[in-house]
Structures are given as C-alpha cells and as structure tokens.
Chains A and B, each alone.
Chain A
C-alpha cells in the first residue's frame, strides 16, 4: 500500500521558536494533503487542507499566520508552527490523498509528529 512519512517523529522545543514538520508521500503523487492535530484523549481535528501549488484552506479557528503550510511539490507538504507556545504541544498528523485510487483507498496517514513546547 501507499506510504506517507513524517519528519520528525518527535520534537521538543523552547517557547517562541518555530518548528517545521514535513509530510511526504513516498510512492504516489498527492495533490492534496491534510494536516490534523490531536490532543490527548481527543479525536482528530482537521487544521487545514493543503493543495499542491496553491494556498492551503484553513479550518475555522486555525490561525493561518501561526500554522504555515507549504505544498510545493506533489510529494511534499510542510507545516511550520511559528512562535510555538506550550499550548501548541500536540500530536500532529498528516494524510495524503492519492486521486488515482478508488475513494475507499484515497487517504493515507503519516505516523504523526509529537510536539512538546517547553
């Protein structure tokens, strides 16, 4: 099956610094990637939809200037958490859509990135 990677898997940073998370589709082209955030014991919350070559679409309540998304190629999307604060500590998960597959197989998840802001 299709594989999506995320890097780093885990990051600890100081408050006020920026953190970049990469999401790559390894064996297919992903015109659309999704970024989710998940707090402990809660479900996935969609943050934004990233489309290759265009601006990301952010969900209500998600700050565009704080969570910068770049989808510069068909296999890579990045999420940068700018000026991170402790409340940004969470599990960030990306998924990528393979439009060449049937609907039931379209989304593949990366392994997630655990961010801890001190």
Chain B
C-alpha cells in the first residue's frame, strides 16, 4: 500500500531551526510537496522536490532522497507565525497526491 509518515507534533523555540521529516512508500513517484496549513485555512504550497538534493527558498528548505524514500522540511529563524501544520504529499504514478497526516508545529517564545 501507499504510506506517508511524518511526526504528529513538534515544538521549537522562536528564532531556532526545526527539521520536519517525511518518509514515504508510494506506487511511483512524480515529486514530493510540502504544504503549510494554518488552523481553519486551506493548505498553501511551500515546496516541490522531484530530484535528489536540497531546494532552498528563503527561510524554508526542502530535501529529497528518492533512494531512501525520505524528505525533510527545514525551517530557519522560526517566527511565531510559523506555528501551523506542515503536510508532506507525494505525487504517485497516476499524478495523484498521497497525503501524510501532517505535523503540527508549535513555536514557543
């Protein structure tokens, strides 16, 4: 079956760095997405990785290792507004997104 695993909840301190991991097993692979979702709102796109390596975009970076079925989202210089759920999703061979359960990130002052 298809499976996406990510931690349920993480806590970090304002100004610090946090890494959210995601492992996956899917039928085919057409890229991995990270989305941010604030409570009561729809997800917003953060990043897309289809090749191995690190993609940096401002304070956020995303890494992919296809051979390991592994990705992480790295958030630097954490701000209180980064408190949200972070969703990992893999696009399978049918171009359908398979979603992880999301990681709730709590930022403390």
A residues touching B (Cβ–Cβ < 8 Å)? 34, 41-46, 49, 91, 93, 103-112, 114
Contact = CB atoms under 8 A, between A and B. Distances in A.
Nearest to B55: A104
A108 B97 CA distance: 12
Given A103-B50, A106-B95, 20 more contacts: A34-B97, A42-B101, A43-B99, A43-B101, A44-B99, A45-B99, A46-B96, A91-B40, A103-B31, A103-B48, A103-B91, A104-B31, A104-B33, A104-B50, A105-B48, A109-B42, A109-B43, A111-B41, A112-B40, A114-B40
Contacts of B85: 43
A106 B33 CA distance: 11
A41 B33 CA distance: 20
B26 interface: no
Contacts of B95: 103, 106
Contacts, number: 46
Contacts of B96: 46, 49
30 contacts: A42-B101, A43-B85, A43-B87, A43-B99, A43-B100, A43-B101, A44-B43, A44-B99, A45-B99, A46-B97, A46-B99, A49-B96, A91-B40, A93-B42, A93-B43, A103-B30, A103-B91, A103-B95, A104-B31, A104-B33, A104-B48, A104-B50, A105-B45, A105-B48, A106-B95, A107-B97, A111-B41, A112-B40, A112-B41, A114-B40
Contacts of B100: 43
Nearest to B103: A43
B42 A111 contact: yes
Contacts of B33: 104
Contacts of B42: 93, 109-112
A44 B88 CA distance: 11
A111 B40 CA distance: 9
Contacts of A111: 41-42
A114 B95 CA distance: 27
